[in-house]
A and B are shown apart, each in its own frame.
Chain A
Amino acid sequence: MHYKILKTNEFIVFLILVGLSIVVGAVNPAFFSLATLFDTLRGSIVYFIMAFGLLPLMIAGGIDISFVAIAAVSSYATHMFLIGRGYQGGVLPYFLIACTIGVSMGLLNGLLVTRFNLPIFDVSLAAYTMWYGFNLFFIGATANFDLPRGTIGYYARFLFTVKDPFAGTTGLHVSIIYVIGIGLLMWWFLKYTTIGRGVYAIGGNREVAIRSGFPVSRVLLIIFGIMGLMSAIAGVTMAFLSRNFNPVIFINQPLDVLAAIILGGASITGGRGTVVGTSLGVLLIQVINRALILTGIPVEWQRLVVGLILILFTSIPALREQRAKHTSHTTEIAQTDQP
């Protein structure tokens, strides 16, 4: 029983993560510090939230890229609306309004998909283009740095702080609590609720899910709503952490988040994927990005190294799977058929 865990994809990603950390730590011991840990976590917060929101949709067999546009519109529109009325209070109204917008946008995607029987990816691509265009044309085309007074301190609201000889004073941001909370909720939702099990059923075999009586359309609408909700939270959090509201926030990031989820073991065709794996995938990409700064590789060459590491890390599970297939019966026949 305890051997099973060693063969899971999560464990392999975990090993890669540990191995990478050891290598980087050997090159630059500053990597093993609380400051680096807090910094990496701070950079990962919004990606964790977006990835958790997207995970159920991926498990159900859908690839979505519109979540970044939802994050952008819900956060930017909320901000322009509130700042236009001279709002000077705290962060709570931001989250409430943005979440309402985000859920509605997610549900709109879901309605198009379920009512008109459309591929999730196609709808999300249209929504991606449409919503970024909407944001830039109808709401505003420039980043806004004019934050309400009540929200200014939010970017540095730490759970606790540490003094680091290299990085100065830094701390663990409070929003890591939402990340943990959302992660636990999502884990519970996917594992212990009927709807959560339905998500896996739809991704495994949609036809079978329909025939076994899962309310497929309703499940899809719910997970689209979840995606919209998480995107809105991520968008507002990102804006407060970076202290500006940007209409094109995350516009180049949708594929990075997808990659993190797939690296974490979720299948593109659906039916597979876990919260733990997704978290590890997000962390892995963040650690790769951050580790390179500490290894002393010149900045302009870092992207090349990230690319090489990604090629390597995506090949390892693929090679493993191929070796597993070679030993199975059907592929043997297929192999001998080839010249």
Chain B
Amino acid sequence: MEPKPAKTPILVRDLQSIQPAIAKIDRQTILLLGVFVVLTVFFGITRDTFLTGRSITSMAFQLPEIGVLALAMMIPILTGGINLSVNAISNLGAVLAGFFLVKLLPSNMVAAQPAPYVALAFLIVLFIGLVTGVINGLLIGYIGVPPILATLATMTFYTGISTGLTGGKTVTNFPDQVGYIGAKSLMGIPIPFIIFVLITLLTYLILFQTSFGFKTRMIGSNPTASTFSGIDNRLVIMKVYIISGIYAAITGILVMSRTMSAAIEYGSTTYVLLTILICVLANIVPGFGNVLNMFIAILILQVISTGFHMVLLGVRGSSFFKDFSWGVLMILIFIVNYFLRGKKSQE
């Protein structure tokens, strides 16, 4: 750090100070964007069905669930935590809303006027997201349980509630209105995808345009410093897990709306690990992260999933090849990143 002349105009100084930050963010974004383009072109050339409207629409219906869930994972990771209970929350919300619609209310009452009850059911899901978020926040922020242990325990607890209520069975027979969000499109764009884009934008606004977002990232980069700056870490952490819970609940709505059912097994541990994988791919670390990278990382995962499904159509166990390629891709990106980083430090 060399001292700058005092006469430098403020604007120039600001530009100088943020320039390294932009360069740093750009590298991963460009890398991910490059991977995305290469993969899309590759699958587009090998399979002419890949870049058709039908295939793109089907991808846009599939990716929002894991996309929103990954954002629910991203925000706790930014604070140096983790939320392993995201999938359990989304399933619990869906199961409870399903119970409300199918078991709690007399079926003729719902059948007569379904819309308000369906809306109420979705509100119940969101409320579950809030409550579970508060429980996680209390354990992690106020009691001080390590996030990985706390959310592992609550994951078991929330799944336990769903298991107890359903006895392990899938809840079905929802009124048709439940499926509106998951199956309908608005001006040709699937509604789940619109919701996903809106939530991505909202996440960007929360994290990078509010003081809460700044505090969130500050806790991630140095919790002691944030405490001594007069930030109430516990309250910020509480809010972070509430947002994470509500995002997870929104995933629950998307899942129950698309599959027209609610089940405790939906996704299970592999789904949780997949959301962490997306965060790692997007280079989300405590204190630092970029919402755009998350968005591209989620697109990449979906492109690989759909692409290899088309390429390997009819091959035994073809759906498992995507898991293999996700892992290989991640390692390749790590290694490329290492060399890019190395070159930079030599300069």
A interface, CB within 8 angstroms of B:
63, 65, 112, 116-118, 121-123, 125-134, 136-138, 140-141, 251-252, 254-256, 258-259, 262-263, 268, 298, 300-308, 310-311, 314-315, 318-319, 321-322, 334, 337-339
For B273, the chain A residues whose CB sits under 8 A away are 65, 125, 128-129
Does B160 contact A307, Cβ atoms closer than 8 Å? yes
B124 in the interface (beta carbon within 8 A): no
Select the stretch in B189-197, B245-253, B287-295, B318-326 that faces chain A. B318-326
B40 in the interface (beta carbon within 8 A): no
Does A126 contact B335, Cβ atoms closer than 8 Å? no
Does A319 contact B144, Cβ atoms closer than 8 Å? yes
For B157, the chain A residues whose CB sits under 8 A away are 304, 307-308, 310-311
Task: Report Cα–Cα, A318/B149, bound state, in Å.
Answer: 11
Q: List 14 A-B contacts (CB under 8 A).
A: A117-B338, A129-B273, A129-B324, A130-B331, A136-B320, A255-B148, A258-B148, A300-B166, A303-B160, A311-B139, A311-B153, A322-B144, A334-B227, A338-B230
Task: Report Cα–Cα, A116/B342, bound state, in Å.
Answer: 10
Does B146 contact A268, Cβ atoms closer than 8 Å? yes
A-B pairs under 8 A by CB, number: 172
Interface residue from B145, B230, B274, B324 paired with A314 (Cβ < 8 Å): B145
For A304, the chain B residues whose CB sits under 8 A away are 157, 160-161, 163-164
Does A338 contact B277, Cβ atoms closer than 8 Å? no
Which of chain A's residues has its CB closest to B327's CB? A130
B280 in the interface (beta carbon within 8 A): yes
Given known A263-B149, A307-B153, A337-B230, contact A136–B323 (CB-CB < 8 A): yes
Interface residue from A130, A303, A315 paired with B326 (Cβ < 8 Å): A130
Interface residue from A133, A308, A314, A319 paired with B327 (Cβ < 8 Å): A133
Does B145 contact A303, Cβ atoms closer than 8 Å? no
Interface residue from A130, A132, A298, A338 paired with B232 (Cβ < 8 Å): A338
B56 in the interface (beta carbon within 8 A): no
Does B334 contact A126, Cβ atoms closer than 8 Å? yes
Task: Report Cα–Cα, A321/B166, bound state, in Å.
Answer: 38
Nearest Cβ in chain B — how far from A21, in angstroms? 20
Beyond A131-B327, A315-B139, 11 additional contacts (C-beta under 8 Å) are A130-B330, A140-B317, A141-B320, A262-B146, A262-B148, A300-B163, A303-B160, A304-B164, A307-B157, A311-B150, A334-B227
Cβ < 8 Å to A, chain B residues 238-279: 268-270, 273-274, 276-277
Task: Report Cα–Cα, A262/B150, bound state, in Å.
Answer: 11
Which among B168, B232, B268, B320 has the highest number of chain A CB atoms within 10 Å? B320
Nearest Cβ in chain A — how far from B264, in angstroms? 9
Task: Report Cα–Cα, A123/B157, bound state, in Å.
Answer: 29
Which of chain B's residues has its CB closest to A320's CB? B144
Does A118 contact B338, Cβ atoms closer than 8 Å? yes
Task: Report Cα–Cα, A121/B331, bound state, in Å.
Answer: 12
Does B150 contact A314, Cβ atoms closer than 8 Å? yes
